[in-house]
Amino acid sequence: MPTDTALLEVTDLRAWYAESQALQGIGFRVNPGELVTLIGRNGAGKTTTLRSIMGIVKNRKGSIRFEGNELIGKRTYQIARQGIAYCPEERGIFASLSVRENLSLPPTLKSGGMSEDALFETFPNLRARASSRGTQLSGGEQQMLAIARILRNGCRFLLLDEPSEGLAPVVVKEIGAQIRRLKAQGYTILLVEQNLNFARSVADRHVVIEHGTVVDQLTNDELSADLNRVKTYLGV
Amino acid sequence: MRIALILLGVAAALIAPFFVYPVLLMTILCFVVFATSFNLLLGYVGLLCFGQAMFLGLSAYVTGHILKTTDLSLEIAILAGALVSAVLGAFVGFVAVRRSGIQFAMITFAFAQFVYFLLLRSEFTGGENGMQGIPRSELFGIFDVSDTLTFYYVILGMTALAILLAYRVIHSPYGEILKAIRDNEPRVESLGFKPERFKILAMSISAGIAGFAGGMKAAVYGFATLTDVSWTVSGEVILMTLLGGLGTLTGPMVGAGIVIVMNDELAQFGEWALIAQGIILILVILFFRRGVVGEAGAFFRRRQARAKDAPAGKPREAE
Amino acid sequence: MFDGITPQLLFGQLLIGVINGSFYAMLAMGLAIIFGLMHVVNFAHGAQYMLGAFVAWLLLTHLGIPYWGALFIAPVVVAIFGIVMERLLLKPIANLDHLYSLLVTYAATLVIEGLIRQQYGSTGLPYNSPLPGGVNLGFMFMPWYRLWVVVFSVVTCLGTWLLIEHTKLGSYLRAANESPEIVESFGINVPRMMTLTYGFGVGLAGLSGVLAAPVYQVSPSMGSGLMITIFAVVVIGGMGSIIGAILTGYLLGIVEGLTKVFYPEGAGLVIFFIMLLALIFRPSGLFSGTEKS
């Protein structure tokens, strides 16, 4: 994989929360159309990596290049406007907004964003709840809404933080199907996961993170061939 | 090094009245105690009381009233004033701790204005004219303290006692819990403590010390006025503490000294004293949040540890 | 017990109460909007209100621009002043403990009020009513200007509330109130939104100031005196609740007016007592549906 084809290239990323260093020098790349997971234990630095890419963690050093442009030093909204969408772990559904308001909140940043109708087509469950308050939805519906919402503004690179967390197996399956569909539509996705089976069901490649560094990288086939190679890191 | 500095400070305080107008010095000492009381809350518990003047002013009136109408000795009158303020502090704390952070500040601010209003309307305070002619009764009922120089040393001793009390509170196990509440309240709660009770008690102690300062002030000047209860004084004590150095024992002393001298110098220039206070407070908040003492300490630590790469203490920010 | 109470007294005080309440509501609403988005308790709100009145007075005295012109110009001037203040004083400390922003706006109040007092003295300056006269309603005399104040403030509050609850712009505000990070991750320039929101809230204070100029005297301390009541209103209504701030504002104005009729000695204290009761019995605020602290 030559460098010039990478959509996202993270090099020696270090990040700090207040005084404590959370990332010790993360490096990996994501190629166009790929679905890459960041896997690792709780507190390993997966979420911090996403938040650093997005500029939500501001105290960060190293290099994050997206389509060749450096993101370090840019503000969150500027990063979003480059074409990166972020779906946080806590989903971030706004309680004071209706489902429709939640969905239509992101402005159009790039052409090719999905219309409200197209989104309701893709996520039919949401249509029936369009005028409910965002937080009256079930966990699965909230997750669907959170993913649907970031498809609005036309970004083609998605950062998804643990979409399977806290959901029933049948809902996780549905989310998995949606994510595969997005990949088939050409979205590039960087996914944070702890659920190894879920990660295997959707990803091309895995980046294993521990103590704020990358300790292993492997393709999905390599993972399937040797599950134990990763299980030790996850402490499963 | 540290002991040498303390001794130097004590020596300076002892000979100061021979060089500086003693009433100015006594004013500074009263505000040193007052600022210490405020610092105890904001610096060590993280509570911003935006109405600290109510404790100062109320106690000044109570002390003054006792001195005027009874034969009780000076220290009893001052302690009684402090006690009344401590009770008020406990009540304000009881109500205000129901809201945290910034709302605590707003509630205490409203409370102080309420106390102001009550004192304005009360008969015994003399309303707009203030309470005049407060006698300086004998200390312990036997020592005559009408001589200004003598009284300076009495006030100095009282100041030392008040600071010692604050020091004891901060360095007690109770003080450790207060600091823990400041840094991480949920954790303290999860350990089985009730943060509210600690906050109310801290509020009461702080109010008591502020009241002690108010009693001292009434005895120094021989009068008490509504100014002592006003929100400009509540703001002044914030400036003193931040300018000197929040959360340091000596910071409020330095800050009180600077602000009182500055007020004294600018008194003839009308509004400029308040304008200067505002500008200095802005500069301190934007650029020198460690205050004079904190910045000086950081400077010396940096010099000492230039080779060692030891991180300088940072003030509490952003939580 | 209430023998001495004539309809004139009752309705007269009620009107004064509604007038005062109009200002409480407008100012508390601005304070709540600013707090909701930025978590800044804008102590300078009273000083900015005073600036609105002063700008109106200056426009009239030095440029001959009458009230109706000032009603548009002064709020804009004060809003621009607010935007500059936000850039210089609030933005640099946006990531610190919110107590610092309260203190820095307090410090700004000292400077603003001090400079105005230094320049124009502390006595009130008169500003004539642009709508003299009134109508006799039989049970009371209703001055036109006071009627205008009540109508104008109700329209302003209602309009602002609708703007926030029912427009796209408002949905940005409500969302950013809950989580500025996520809104910014959608590509919305939240820092600029905060600057403009502060400017809008401050402009509202300026507008209230112009509205107040003919009712109260234009004086440097006209705002800081009001801040105590406004703080109480916001605390009672529930911090950051806009509708709570508006309703509590009118309610307290009316209650205060009625207290003047039935128990004049208590008028200065009634708002404070309501705050005490609210804190003890409704610790999260009367209208705390969407309250966040």
CB of C209 closer than 8 Å to CB of C56: yes
Of C99, C231, C234, the CB nearest to B48: C99
Specify if C124 maps to a domain.
yes
Please tell me the distance in Å from C48's CA to the nearest CA on chain A.
30
Q: Which residues of C touch B100 (CB under 8 A)?
A: 293
Query: Is residue A60 scored above 70 in pLDDT?
Result: yes
Of C109, C113, C235, the CB nearest to B106: C235
Range of the domain at A155: 3-234
3-state DSSP call for residue A84?
Answer: strand
Q: How far is residue A199's CA from residue B66's CA, in Å, rounded to a whole number?
A: 77
What percent of chain B stands above pLDDT 70?
93
**Mutating which of B104, B120, B282, B319 best tests the C interface, going by the most C Cβ atoms within 10 A?**
B282
ipTM value, please give it. 0.89
Supply the angle between the helices C224-237 and C242-262 in degrees, to the nearest 10: 110
For the stretch C45-81, pLDDT in tens is 999 999 999 999 999 999 999 999 999 999 999 999 9
Q: What phi and psi values does residue A80 have, to the nearest 5 degrees?
A: -60, -40
Q: How far is residue B152's CA from residue B17's CA, in Å, rounded to a whole number?
A: 8
What percent of chain C stands above pLDDT 90?
54
Interface partners of chain C (CB pairs < 8 Å, 3 or more) are A, B
Q: Which residues of B touch C108 (CB under 8 A)?
A: 278, 282
CB of B72 closer than 8 Å to CB of B66: yes
CB of C204 closer than 8 Å to CB of C32: no
**Mutating which of C37, C182, C291 best tests the A interface, going by the most A Cβ atoms within 10 A?**
C182
CB of A72 closer than 8 Å to CB of A32: no
Of B103, B117, B235, the CB nearest to C268: B117
**Structural domains counted in chain A:** 1
Beta carbons within 10 angstroms of residue B114's beta carbon: 22
Say yes or no for a CB contact (<8 Å) between B318 and A18.
yes
pLDDT in tens, chain C (293 residues): 456 678 778 888 888 899 999 999 999 999 999 998 888 999 999 999 999 999 999 999 999 999 999 999 999 999 999 999 999 999 999 888 888 999 999 999 999 999 999 888 888 888 888 888 888 887 788 889 999 999 999 999 999 999 988 888 889 988 988 889 999 999 999 999 999 999 999 999 999 999 999 998 899 989 888 888 898 898 888 887 888 899 999 999 999 888 888 887 777 788 888 888 888 887 776 775 443 33
Say yes or no for a CB contact (<8 Å) between A76 and C184.
yes
For the stretch C109-156, pLDDT in tens is 999 999 999 888 888 888 888 888 888 887 788 889 999 999 999 999
Residue of A nearest to C290 (CA): A96
Of C113, C272, C293, the CB nearest to B110: C272
Interface partners of chain B (CB pairs < 8 Å, 3 or more) are A, C
Q: Which residues of B touch C106 (CB under 8 A)?
A: 235, 238, 281
**CATH code of A134's domain:** 3.40.50.300
Say yes or no for a CB contact (<8 Å) between A153 and C187.
yes
Specify if C282 maps to a domain.
no
Question: Across the B/C interface, how many CB contacts are shorter than 8 Å?
Answer: 119
Residue of B nearest to A18 (CA): B318
Say yes or no for a CB contact (<8 Å) between B318 and A19.
no
Interface partners of chain A (CB pairs < 8 Å, 3 or more) are B, C
Query: Is residue B87 scored above 90 in pLDDT?
Result: yes
Query: Is residue B56 scored above 90 in pLDDT?
Result: yes
Beta carbons within 10 angstroms of residue C103's beta carbon: 26
Residue of A nearest to B318 (CA): A18
Specify if C250 maps to a domain.
no
**Mutating which of B41, B100, B114 best tests the C interface, going by the most C Cβ atoms within 10 A?**
B114
Question: Is C86 an interface residue toward B (CB < 8 Å)?
Answer: no
Reading the block at residue C257, the tokens are 């007016």
Query: Is residue A2 scored above 50 in pLDDT?
Result: no
**Structural domains counted in chain C:** 1
